[in-house]
């Protein structure tokens, strides 16, 4: 379910939770667009260098339209969005946003769902837990943090009707054992789906273990909040079939940036190949995929590219723009 609503949201409440996580309750002038579990909104962040867009998962109960709930980690290693929001957001402040959009939906027909949330990656999992609980479907949510004093959302978890389906894990082992995939990842069986969100290393570990345990790629669902992406490479040409414009993408440029210089705008938001905003159809050429957004099946089809970071394997790509 994808929406393209332009929204003006007001901060109704801010809670500074454990683990440097800020929780925001956002309201509109009336009812907000509905969302399903796994959805996010794009938030415009005003930085000294100009506006940037960042994506934040909706962690409240799907189906409710009175407010949106976000959890935002203050990450000093990020590119400025989260730190700026932590510094500026207070009750009464307004945000410009778009959405909701959903690239991380729950699978239809699953008989059992195993959810892994690492740190701030628990936010979409909380919405998934609400939806699975409402539908009466079997699930377990494994929520991993560094330690008890870095574990946010404890009040939400304690009050949730599905709290018995949530297992806490702390890396330091104090009060809750770390994740043990030999114990916590069940054997692959028909209808069992795995969902994972969190830091890249955490996600890669879970995904690799699930693949080794026999889970097919189409039942392992993932959403990256950030990714270490290297967009550099050899120069190549991009030809735009609709507009007839050709550009050269240099070693330090991206397709999106090169096209903007030529007067062709591609919407870009995350700049890390994780949100899917810049996905563009490819008519000819071999793609060097650098993103974390497209599935392996979509990559094998070879007809879509994330223009913010991916490149050509050969000398030329033809795009349908």
User: How does pLDDT run across 71-96, given as a tens digit for each residue?
Assistant: 999 988 776 689 999 999 999 999 99
What is the mean pLDDT of the segment spanning 182-192?
97
Average pLDDT score over residue span 191-209: 96
Supply the pLDDT for residue 293. Answer: 87
* Lowest-pLDDT range of 37-46, 114-123, 207-216, 265-274: 265-274
Mean of pLDDT over the chain = 93
At 229-281, the pLDDT tens digits run 888 999 999 999 999 999 999 999 999 999 999 999 888 877 878 888 899 99
Residues 275-306: tens digit of each pLDDT? 888 999 999 999 999 998 888 888 999 999 99
Q: What is the mean pLDDT of residues 177-185?
A: 97
Output the pLDDT for position 4: 61
Q: Has this prediction a pTM greater than 0.85?
A: no
Give the phi and the psi of residue 178 in degrees, each rounded to 5: -60, 160
Question: Are 153 and 17 a contacting pair, CB within 8 Å?
Answer: yes
Identify the pLDDT of residue 79.
67
Average pLDDT over residues 55-82: 90
**What does the alpha-carbon distance between residue 254 and residue 239 come to, in Å, rounded to a whole number?**
14
Residue 3 has pLDDT above 70, yes or no: no
Compute the radius of gyration of the chain from its Cα atoms: 20
Q: Map out the domains of the chain with their CATH numbers.
A: 6-101 (2.40.30.10), 112-224 (3.40.50.80), 236-319 (3.10.20.30)
User: Which of helix, strand or coil describes residue 87?
Assistant: helix
Note the pLDDT of residue 284. Answer: 96
User: What is the rounded CA–CA span in Å between residue 25 and residue 71?
Assistant: 9
The token pair that represents 216 in the structure block: 């097919």
Predicted local confidence at residue 1, as pLDDT: 36
CB neighbours of 65 closer than 8 A, spacing ≥ 6? Answer: 31, 32, 33, 34
Does 2 have pLDDT greater than 50? Answer: no
Question: What confidence tier does 144 reach under pLDDT thresholds 50, 70, 90?
Answer: very high
H-type helices in 200-254, by residue range?
Answer: 200-212
């Amino acid at each position: 379910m994808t929406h393209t609503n332009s929204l003006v949201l007001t901060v109704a409440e801010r809670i500074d939770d454990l683990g440097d996580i800020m929780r925001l309750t956002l309201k509109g002038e009336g009812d907000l667009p509905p969302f399903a579990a796994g959805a996010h909104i794009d938030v415009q962040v005003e930085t000294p260098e100009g506006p940037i867009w960042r994506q934040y998962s909706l962690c409240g109960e799907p189906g409710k339209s009175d407010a949106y709930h976000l959890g935002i980690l203050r990450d000093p290693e990020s590119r400025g969005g989260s730190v700026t929001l932590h510094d500026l957001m207070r009750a009464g402040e307004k945000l410009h946003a778009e959405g909701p959009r959903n690239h991380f939906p729950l699978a239809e027909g699953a008989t059992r769902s195993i959810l892994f949330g690492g740190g701030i990656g628990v936010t979409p999992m909380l919405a998934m837990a609400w939806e699975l609980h409402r539908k009466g479907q079997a699930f377990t949510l494994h929520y991993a943090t560094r330690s008890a004093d870095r574990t946010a959302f404890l009040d939400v978890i304690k009050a949730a009707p599905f709290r018995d389906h949530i297992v806490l894990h702390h890396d330091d082992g104090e009060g809750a054992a770390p994740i043990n995939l030999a114990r916590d990842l069940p054997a692959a069986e028909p209808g069992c789906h795995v969902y994972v969100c969190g830091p890249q290393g955490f996600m890669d570990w879970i995904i690799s273990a699930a693949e080794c345990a026999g889970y097919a790629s189409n039942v392992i669902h993932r959403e990256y909040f950030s990714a270490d992406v290297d967009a550099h490479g050899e120069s190549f040409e991009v030809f735009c079939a609709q507009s007839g414009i050709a550009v050269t993408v240099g070693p330090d440029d991206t397709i999106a940036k090169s096209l903007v210089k030529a007067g062709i705008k591609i919407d870009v938001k995350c700049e890390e190949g994780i949100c899917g905003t810049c996905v563009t159809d490819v008519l000819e050429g071999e793609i060097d995929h650098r993103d974390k957004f497209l599935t392996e099946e979509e990559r094998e089809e070879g007809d879509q590219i994330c223009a913010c970071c991916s490149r050509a394997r050969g000398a030329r790509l033809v795009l349908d723009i």
